[in-house]
């Protein structure tokens, strides 16, 4: 089981958010955002921020750092470490199973991932064998779209995609590509873009809070692009 930072609600958790960081970061990366979301205590959300394993990363000269999978080169058409993504997706699947064992329904579990973490939550969430509340990819790309075996349990799971107009690490074109590919699977997709680089902004945090409120309440989503 991956080590995690966990933030418990004031009452017994009845919902969970599993939130993955990006390359070289750790589970503390998005921890400070939780109070800014100002979610209602009635949602009773447990936040789970897993730490990625340490591994050598090819584009960084083989330096060992927290990573969900290897990155071979910085190119839109680069070879993808699909095996590494799938392995990390299985580890996140184990965290989902643990939340279910703790008494949280799968339909009240949302996945969020930033950059590398987003690629992993797309793979994990869209292929998971039990229905989830929602999937949010932040400044991410759908790396395993060629090999993903989507599961019918999550064919209608709402997906949100957030991206920066000026992202030079993961160009927005890859966020738009993920939107098209996931829509083609039949999932309702909300796409929102922001005047930012490879980062997070205040407007986006408000949108994450709104999305979580709707996803964890089981609200019916409609496709949207902004």
Active site residues: 115, 167, 198
When computed from its CA atoms, the radius of gyration of the chain, rounded to whole angstroms, is 16
Count of all residues that appear for the chain in the document: 226
Query: What are residue 164's phi and psi, to 5 degrees?
Result: -90, 140
Nearest alpha-carbon partner for 191 in 142, 155, 154: 142
For 70, left (φ over 0), alpha (ψ -120 to 50), or beta? beta
Q: In what order do the strands lie in the sheet with 4-7?
A: 4-7, 45-50, 15-20, 109-114, 134-138, 159-164, 189-194, 224-225
């Amino acid at each position: 089981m991956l080590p995690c930072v966990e933030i418990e609600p004031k009452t017994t958790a009845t919902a969970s958010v599993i939130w993955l960081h990006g390359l070289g970061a750790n589970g503390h990366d998005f921890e400070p955002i939780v109070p800014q979301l100002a979610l209602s205590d009635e949602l009773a959300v447990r936040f789970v921020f897993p730490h990625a394993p340490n591994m050598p990363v090819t584009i960084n000269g083989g330096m060992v750092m927290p990573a969900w999978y290897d990155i071979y080169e910085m190119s839109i058409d680069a070879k993808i470490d699909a095996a590494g993504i799938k392995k990390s997706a299985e580890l996140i699947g184990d965290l989902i199973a643990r939340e279910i064992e703790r008494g949280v329904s799968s339909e009240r579990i949302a996945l969020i991932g930033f950059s590398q973490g987003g690629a992993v939550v797309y793979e994990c969430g869209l292929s998971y064998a039990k229905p989830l509340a929602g999937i949010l990819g932040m400044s991410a790309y759908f790396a395993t779209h060629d090999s993903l075996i989507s599961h019918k349990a999550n064919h209608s799971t709402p997906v949100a995609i957030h991206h920066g107009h000026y992202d030079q690490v993961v160009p927005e074109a890859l966020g738009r590509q993920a939107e098209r590919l996931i829509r083609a699977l039949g999932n309702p997709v909300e796409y929102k873009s922001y005047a930012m680089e490879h980062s997070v902004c205040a407007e986006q945090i408000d949108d994450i809070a709104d999305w979580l409120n709707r996803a964890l309440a089981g609200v019916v989503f409609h496709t949207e692009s902004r």
